[in-house]
A and B are shown apart, each in its own frame.
Chain A
Amino acid sequence: MANRNLKINIFRYNPAEPEKKPSMASYPFEELPGLTMFTVLNRIREELDRTLVFDFVCRAAICGSCAMIINGKPRLACKTLTKGLPKEITLLPLPVFKLIGDLSVDTGTWFRHISLKTEAWIHTSAKFDPTAVEERMDNETALRIYEPERCIECGCCIAGCATANIRDDFMGAATINRVARFMVDPRDERTPGQYFDVIGCDEGTFGCMGLMACDNNCPMEIPLQYQLAYVRRKMAAFGLGGWKGTGRTGEPQHHRAGRSAS
């Protein structure tokens, strides 16, 4: 069977040259067996257009660098085989994130800001004792933390989210999932009230319209629908005064509980 002749349409814009309007460029490409968009883009840059800007790091769906819109869907380019796509393939940068050039967007800065905003680290009053054996943890708990921890911050869930596309301040599924990771971690001593402050708001869990494109688009197949529901239920329960939390510091501080989960 003859190889297909693909037509690759790529969004082009260099912010360093604002006088040149954004445009689409097309490149012919002969398909090979097992071809991924990683090979396609690198060969276009090496052989057809050396100015083309895009991001790859691990090229193995581990690092989350190469998310882009491929024929209308946010996907990791490295793990997108051409085989499953029509002959004409259109590549656009992810929306929501700041454009660096062509297909490259600044997910790094966005996610760093979100980590700071939600204080996405273990909050503990315990001091590390280098002479002590580690604190025990049930293996099931470790695996439950690992499930949301697997997020690679590629931005696919944000780019495909209707709320994030119309509202700059919506924190999106990856953020809520990250908060869920700390909520199930017994080492984190934050109280339900503190989590409510972080995520129990319109920018967070209550801003989600429940369209669940995030769940469909996640290249890591993290069950975002479950994680979002988990956080929302916990926050709603806290709002109604029912959740006592998993942290070790005992009673939650009951503040801002008047905000409803409507």
Chain B
Amino acid sequence: MNLQDTIITDVLIIGAGLAGERAAVAARERGLGVTILSMVPPRRSHSTAAQGGMQASLGNSAMGQGDNPDIHFQDTVKGSDWGCDQEVARLFVEAVPIAVRQMSYWGVPWNRVTAGRKTLPDGRVIEDKKEFEGLITARDFGGTAKWRTCYTSDGTGHTLQYTMDSIVIAQGITVHDRTEAIALIHDGGKCLGVVVRCLRTGGLRVYLARATVIASGGYGRLYTASTNAVINEGTGMSLALDTGVVPLGNMEAVQFHPTGMVPVWILITEGARGDGGYLLDKNLYRFMPDYEPNKKELASRDVVSRRMVQHMRKGLGVDSPYGPHLWLDIRHLGAKHINTNLREIANICKNFNGIDPVRDLIPVRPTQHYSMGGVRTDIDGRAYGLKGLFAVGEAACWDLHGFNRLGGNSLAETIVAGMVVGEKIADYALGADLDWAYPLVKDAVRTQEERIAALASCRDGKENVFALKNEMGEVLMNYVGIFRTGEGLQKAVDQLTALYERSAHLGLHAPAVGANPEMTACLRLPGMIRLALCIAVGALARTESRGSHAREDFPKRDDANWLKRTLAYWDPGCLAPRLEYEPVKITSLPPGDRGYGESSTPKV
């Protein structure tokens, strides 16, 4: 380490997706110096992949009339299966209309209300009124009482990210792309900054800041089949867990998206079903109305995913070399609708599967999609356990989503959390000193230098990083997926523990000068297996079913014992996480039936 490679800033943000950039703008507007670290150029962030939209109760569209934050609140809390923090949900639903309008002010070309009568695919006729023409419109998404999901055609994440990044550029916020934070620097009570590895050169740098923010997204890529971008390996969550003092919340709450396209697992947006798409089985029979007569294909994501797996278990899936799947049928929406409103879907089908959804059925299967869990924070975004550390977006367990996130609530969370927590970050940073002890920083760097040297020289062995990573992904798919059992989860814990022990013996098979991609993978993998263990151990301990966490041996939600949030700590040197629990804050909506989906009684 030398001071040439040390960078000092007021607010350091790890991750340049929507949550990180929105928080950066908030802090910058308060006059603070902000530096964003990102593994990729900001506009390549996984936020751009969100096609569907952002929920806000504007109530402009015909099917959104009468909507308000109270209804959005109820949908969110019910959707979370009462696992979310109701104070956070309340704050969120009140703030999100402002956030959507501000994004419009900054340049997002939201689709707008056009007046007139329209016939929906199911035959219903609706009328958008003249008085709302030109205001931001909304589409239907699963699990919502009103049409509330604001969108820009099928590129909502893209337009939000490009607009947000244009403001980051306009404000002169520093972005260091192709960098990866590999360790937090802390003294057990306070976070001082991070050790960063440059993904261009492989060199290490130190960033010191008054406030450090984890905004690095989810961990989808722990699973073999995930809709997530390949960079979503839970890196920021690992940094927090590795401190030993910051817990991860509800890591067992993993969302599966009903429609990942076989076999590349690219997401087919819920917009396809929102606009009237059907799910069909091998006999081309539309089965969802049998299970969910009211919501049909638009029941909550966890419900639809489970019904699909249930239906395939009855032998009604379509056989393929990649295992059984079902069909998504949007042919009846017509070429014009598909090639404009759902153009991205049409392109994905053509480019990655050689099929045309105007004529062909789309092969789909539930696929890992979203991590509700993450770095546990309070309502102000402050991470538990370390002063000066914050987390926002999918990397955080703020906890807006509880055990199931509604479609359209994650993009909304990124912007709202960035906006709200960004102010708290600024408040903190403005009152905090920049103070750091040189020996502490030097030790943090030396620890990482030693790890890198050990891997390069195969000091501790020559375990194959890619093989171990694939094994981890398969264990999670097989035993920590949509349906879970105590027996399967115990197997997962045992196998992951064995993999974790082996990961201490990783070594480079092909040493190379510079930012060797094998080194990047080796540095990440032990942390990824620790996250996998937090998921599996948390799921094994939680002897109930709630939201996305479906235990076949405990099919009922158990509010008497489990209306609480899991906190997973990793004590230094241990082979497993230590679990603690905290109560879930219920302010106004006591636990009840979710009202859609018989989620507590899966009939297998």
Contact = CB atoms under 8 A, between A and B. Distances in A.
B513 A115 contact: no
Given A46-B466, A59-B229, A185 B41 contact: no
Contact of A146 (B42, B109, B175): B109
B495 interface: no
Interface stretch (A131-139, A162-170, A202-210, A253-261): A131-139
Nearest to B165: A115
Interface stretch (A11-19, A86-94, A227-235, A237-245): A11-19
Interface in A44-97: 45-46, 49-53, 55-65, 78-79, 81, 83
Contacts of B509: 50
A50 B134 contact: no
A62 B161 CA distance: 12
Contacts of A135: 104-105
Interface in B69-120: 98, 100-102, 104-107, 109-114
A62 B517 contact: no
B178 A128 contact: no
Interface stretch (A23-31, A148-156, A192-200): A148-156
A102 to B, nearest CB: 10
A248 interface: no
B356 interface: no
Nearest to A61: B351
A100 B48 contact: no
B229 A142 contact: no
B48 A15 contact: no
A120 B107 CA distance: 11
A59 B230 contact: yes
B112 A139 contact: yes
B297 interface: no
A119 interface: yes
B512 interface: yes
Given A15-B514, A121-B166, A136-B112, A62 B49 contact: yes
Contacts of A1: none
B44 interface: yes
Contacts of B266: 59-60
A83 B351 CA distance: 11
Contacts of B347: 61
Interface stretch (B151-159, B207-215, B307-315, B452-460): B151-159
Nearest to A219: B351
Interface residues of B, number: 71
Given A58-B48, A112-B175, A134-B135, A149 B162 contact: yes
A138 B516 contact: no
B152 A50 contact: no
A132 B40 CA distance: 36
A19 to B, nearest CB: 10
A108 interface: yes
Contact of A57 (B136, B229, B267): B229
Contact of A107 (B41, B113, B155, B201): B41
A100 to B, nearest CB: 6
B518 interface: yes
Given A36-B264, A65-B40, A116-B169, A145 B109 contact: yes
A126 interface: yes
B581 interface: no
Given A58-B229, A112-B175, 6 more contacts: A61-B352, A65-B40, A81-B351, A146-B109, A150-B155, A188-B107
17 contacts: A14-B513, A36-B352, A45-B517, A50-B517, A58-B48, A63-B48, A79-B351, A79-B352, A108-B177, A109-B177, A115-B166, A116-B169, A139-B113, A139-B114, A142-B112, A149-B155, A152-B43
Which 5 residue pairs are nearest across A and B when measured between Cβ atoms? A108-B41, A136-B134, A16-B514, A121-B166, A145-B109
